[in-house]
Amino acid sequence: MDYDVIVIGGGLSGLTAASLLAKRHLSVAVVEKSYNPGGSCGIFKRGHVTFDIGAAMLYGFGEKGFNAHRFVFNALEEPIEVIRHDLLYCVNFKGRRIRFFADVERFADELSDVFPAERDAIHRFYRDLQKMYQHVMVETPSYATADETDRKTALKSLLRHPVSYARFLSYLNTSARNLLARYFKDPELFKFFDKLTSTYCYATLEEAPAVLAAVMFVDNHIGGSYYPAGSTLFLPGKLEKVIEENGGDMYLESEVVAIDFTAGKPSGVRLADGRTLTASHIIYSGTVWNLYGKLIDPALTTAGQREWAEKQVPTYPSVVLYAVIDRSVIPEDTAPIEMLVGKPEQIDESEVTAYLLSIDDRTLCGEDEHTVLAIGPSFEDWSQADPIAYQQKKQKEQERLIGVLERRFPGLASAVRFAEVATPRTIEHYTLKNGGAVAGPKQMLG
Ligand SMILES: Cc1cc2nc3c(=O)[nH]c(=O)nc-3n(C[C@H](O)[C@H](O)[C@H](O)COP(=O)(O)OP(=O)(O)OC[C@H]3O[C@@H](n4cnc5c(N)ncnc54)[C@H](O)[C@@H]3O)c2cc1C
């Protein structure tokens, strides 16, 4: 088959690209290794219970700010019902619960109660970031990359708020730690922010570019955090619907094993079962390591390109616990997303983000139950070939993760009705994310 565009990978990014192109009447094919689209975002069922696979705290559906999902669904003219979380999330830090309210001032007050000596600086920090965000991201939102943004429009925005733009651009070349050092002194507050960048940018304060951290610190509040009503299945499902309604093809259970080139230009793909597809354009949504390491014949890339890909630092491998528990062990004031900080000074396996999405969406499980998805880092070696040893290790990991949750929700360990663990190997198997690094390469300075 010959297409205008072949999209390799049917996760959120691949489906988004394919649906926008199909809507513009290009002939599109999506090739996905798994039996259903969605990648890290979607569901699986166990009996009557619906589990979200992964991505479930979704940004970008708001009315104000940088709202990429909203932009896409508007462009697709496809309605989607989303539930806005009252609280973005809640961070359990050194025995305190820090609630992330949508209202930034209210959140700044909450944080100041934990770090009273920094009260003024905290308010100043968030006010400065909001102003910059308002000027740069809200007034002229751009959904194209810098090199594809119309120069005239970019110049107009720059001239309207030159100071904010200069500040924003200066944040490209400095670390999040340097940015914070302009405002704060308390080392404990640095540890708190380190947890935020480590969890949501997968990079420490030293590693994360200030620009990424600055946007992340306020964007979540302004835009809000959302959950697709009925489960995250509706997000990839709606994108797939647009692709199919516009004549696009979905090739499921089909892995691309090579990208073919003609006269130095990508011209098609080869599938694991021997089929080939051709197209004028190829979009790839997997990892850089697989692209340069597996899919493109090394004779067609330079040593520099391959070295660049190899040099990308992976984010940490993750494990995920999926459980059903008695509803009675979860206190009424629990947030749908709770981050449990183990050691404030470092990332270790006692750090877990727990998603209790049935707090917001009661269709996911029985009336007297809650679903729990708990994700955290794993520094174990999961490569054992012996299936029995692997299963035993999974069982131990399940007990360990339940133990971590028990500390936040006493009684949970004896209230578990069902539990299952995905290891870094499981994640790699289902998403082709090397080593189970769910966030791919670290987004580091430089
Ligand atoms: C447990 C977990 C929790 C998360 N929580 C959140 C969250 O709350 N909020 C949030 O914003 N993000 C979250 N994320 C991250 C979020 O899921 C991802 O950023 C996003 O879904 C990635 O989309 P993607 O399309 O880039 O990649 P993926 O979802 O990984 O999809 C890539 C797809 O491409 C396919 N593929 C790759 N190579 C090939 C090939 N050669 N041939 C065929 N198919 C191929 C894979 O099979 C896969 O389905 C979470 C991730 C996980 C795993």
pLDDT single digits (tens) 159-200 = 889 888 888 888 889 999 999 999 999 999 999 999 999 888
Per-residue tokens: 184: 């704060």
Residue 369 pLDDT grade (very low, low, confident, very high; cuts 50, 70, 90): very high
Measured in degrees and rounded to the nearest 5, phi and psi for residue 142 equal -125, 130
Q: What is the pTM of this model?
A: 0.93
Contact 85, 360 (CB under 8 A): yes
- For residue 275, pLDDT over 90 is answered with yes
pLDDT recorded at residue 246: 98
Q: Looking at the CA of residue 438, tell me the nearest atom of ligand 1.
A: 53
pLDDT recorded at residue 26: 98
Per residue in 66-118, pLDDT (tens digit) is 889 999 999 999 999 998 888 889 999 988 999 999 899 999 999 999 999 99
**Residue located nearest, by CA, to atom 27 of ligand 1:** 11
Question: Side chain identity at 270, as an amino acid letter?
Answer: R
Can you tell me the distance from the alpha carbon of 22 to that of 37, in angstroms, rounded to the nearest whole number?
A: 16
Can you tell me the distance from the alpha carbon of 232 to that of 81, in angstroms, rounded to the nearest whole number?
A: 11
Q: Are strands 249-251 and 28-31 parallel, antiparallel or unpaired?
A: parallel
**Residue located nearest, by CA, to atom 4 of ligand 1:** 55
Burial of 333-356, coded b for 16+ CB within 10 Å and e otherwise, reads: ebbbbbbbbbeeeebebbbbbbbb
In angstroms, what is the span from residue 442 Cα to ligand 1's centroid?
Answer: 15
DSSP string, 146-207: GGGS-HHHHHHHHHHSHHHHHHHHHGGGSBHHHHHHTT---HHHHHHHHHHHHHHTSS-TTT
In angstroms, what is the span from residue 39 Cα to ligand 1's centroid?
Answer: 5
**Residue located nearest, by CA, to atom 36 of ligand 1:** 9
Per residue in 187-246, pLDDT (tens digit) is 999 999 999 998 888 899 999 999 999 988 998 888 888 999 888 999 999 999 999 999
Identify the H or E element spanning 257: strand 256-262
Domain 2-58+231-311: CATH architecture, name and number where available: 3-Layer(bba) Sandwich (3.50)
Q: Show the ligand 1 pocket: residues with CB < 6 angstroms.
A: 8-14, 31-34, 39-41, 54-58, 255-256, 285-286, 320, 375, 427, 431-433, 438
What are the domain boundaries of the chain?
A: 2-58+231-311, 104-226, 318-436
Identify the H or E element spanning 280: strand 276-284
Q: Looking at the CA of residue 254, tell me the nearest atom of ligand 1.
A: 43
Per-residue tokens: 148: 């594809």
**Residue located nearest, by CA, to atom 34 of ligand 1:** 9
Q: Which of 266, 368, 344 is nearest to 5 (CA)?
A: 266
